[in-house]
Structures are given as C-alpha cells and as structure tokens.
Homo-oligomer: A and B are copies of this chain.
Amino acid sequence: MVQDSIRVLQTQGYKVTKPRRQVLEILEEAQESLSPYDIQRLLRRQGKHLNHVTIYRILDLFCSLNLAHKLLSTGRFVKCSLGDKEGCHRFMVCHRCGTLQEFADERLCQEENGFARNFDFHTEYHLSESSGLCSNCYRKQHQKQENA
C-alpha cells in the first residue's frame, strides 16, 4: 500500500524522503481521518519530529497526486484507497467512530450530471460524503436502546 504510493512518487519525479514516508505510514495506519496537527502529534509520540509546514506541503502534494484526500466535512485527510486514478471518489463517514469507506459509482455521477443539465449547469466534478453509522456503531446504538 505504502509501496504503491512510493512508486507513484518515484515515477512522477518526486523524491522519496523520510518525512514523506512517515506521513504515508501514519495515514496508512490510521483508522480515521487526521488533521495536519494530528499527524504531527502522532509522529511525535513515535519520536519523529516534523515541522508543521512540512506536513502541510506533503499533504498538498499527496492530494495533487490523488494519494490522499481532504475530506470536505472536516478538512481532515485520509489515504486514498482506490488508487491514484482520476475520477469521482465518494465517502461514507461514520460520525461516531470516524471510520470511513471510499467508493466510486458511475451511475450516481450520471444521475447528478443529468439533474445538473436541467439547470444548464456544466458539472466538472462531484463532492460527496454521506454521514451516518457504520455497521458496528449501528449495532451498539441499537443494543443500548434495547437495554434502556
């Protein structure tokens, strides 16, 4: 996974530096999305010290290469799980535990584009995040209500 991203960096002519590796690894490990300062704190706990400016610049680069995404709803970052290809990447985010699923669906895009045409709007890309509960958190929530 991290290897794939490293290969993208290389083939695009970017250096594979220690800070870039470290940010990749942190994003890979994380179950939830991370803010730039979250990343700095997590790395510091591992004895790795990165300047926040560096983290910002690395995240910018990763996003431009589609190795990571900046979530709209929170501004936090996640590692892309669909590869670095172009296209519309959508998210389902659990608002309880923060875990998320990335997916792409051509039909949804078609539908949205069709709707937009009615308004004479020329869509270039879709930004889409659904908020809700993952199966785990839904089950927990449900059990609580039964016991209450």
Contacts and interface: CB of A to CB of B under 8 A. Distances in A.
B115 A108 contact: yes
Contacts of A126: 128-131
The bracket for how many chain A residues form the interface is 20 to 34
A31 interface: no
Number of copies: 2
A66 to B, nearest CB: 16
Interface of A: 72-73, 75, 92, 94-95, 101, 103, 105, 107-108, 111-112, 115-116, 119-135, 138
A140 to B, nearest CB: 12
Nearest to A70: B73
Contacts of A111: 107-108, 111
